Amino acid sequence: MNTVFDIEQKQDSAEKLLAVADKETKYILFADEFNDVARKAVESAVENVKIELFWSNKPEHIVQNFAGISTVQQLVLKFNDVWMLENTDEVTLLIDRYKPKRTVRTYGKFKGSGFKHGIFPDAQNPKRPSEIVITEKETILKMGQPYYFHKIANSNSQIRACGAGGKNHTSDYNRAWQYLQFRIRVRKGNKTYFSKPLATIQMICDRWYNDGESQKISISYKLV
């Protein structure tokens, strides 16, 4: 069954019924009678939306020599609920980064650990977006992967994760990682809906040896 997620301004019930008479309908939302039942149905649909994250060694999924990183595997999003793309105003992927417990020096207080959503747009990190608008069923995510790690000046640079409080790296500084969690936000008219966390990955920046001598630095992923 095709899903219809639509808001119509109609004057009376007869006109409303005529407007949707030829539609296979799962959700029809009228702006003048957006009742609790309809709202909860849409909230449930968005909360449980389906996504898939994958990566590969295909040329179109690999970026070479990106901000000091030899090889960056691009993360690809497959958005299965196409009806949301076709019948809402905006579908956005939200990227939340795990931050460990830390002390805020200004106030001398602890900030708890957990997945945090960054400011968007962020003037301090414009190349590392925490939100990406989704318009296609399959999207290569331009999320600025190298900028989740301290700047790599050359192949001998220490590999460290940004904002991890000195954690999330090996003792020899040859590997570091970040944990990222993904959610979906849907906007339709003046309504906004959020999914539950849909996927978590470990993004790994790793130094390795191509031929036993020459060093390479790469970014790859692991589903958590």
**pLDDT tens-digit series, residues 173-182:** 999 999 999 9
Alpha-carbon distance 191 to 45, whole Å? 14
Token pair 């004057």 is found at: 11
Q: How confident is the model at residue 18 (pLDDT cuts 50, 70, 90)?
A: low
pLDDT score of 214: 74
Task: With residue 139 as reference, give the H or E element that holds it.
Answer: strand 138-140
Q: Whole-model pTM?
A: 0.78
| 79-106: pLDDT as tens digits | 999 888 988 889 999 999 998 876 566 6
- Report pLDDT for 107: 61
Give yes or no for a cis peptide into 121 (omega within 30° of 0): yes
153, two tokens: 């000046």
- The answer on pLDDT for 75 being more than 60 is yes
CA 188 → CA 23, 88, 175, distances in Å? Answer: 19, 5, 42
- Report the range of poorest mean pLDDT among 110-114, 164-168, 190-194: 110-114
Give the three-state DSSP class for 41. helix
Q: How confident is the model at residue 22 (pLDDT cuts 50, 70, 90)?
A: low
Measured distance CA(148)–CA(161) in Å, rounded: 6
Does residue 8 surpass a pLDDT of 50? no
206 within 8 A of 184, measured Cβ to Cβ: no
**Chain mean pLDDT for the chain:** 82
Mean pLDDT (whole number) for 159-177: 89
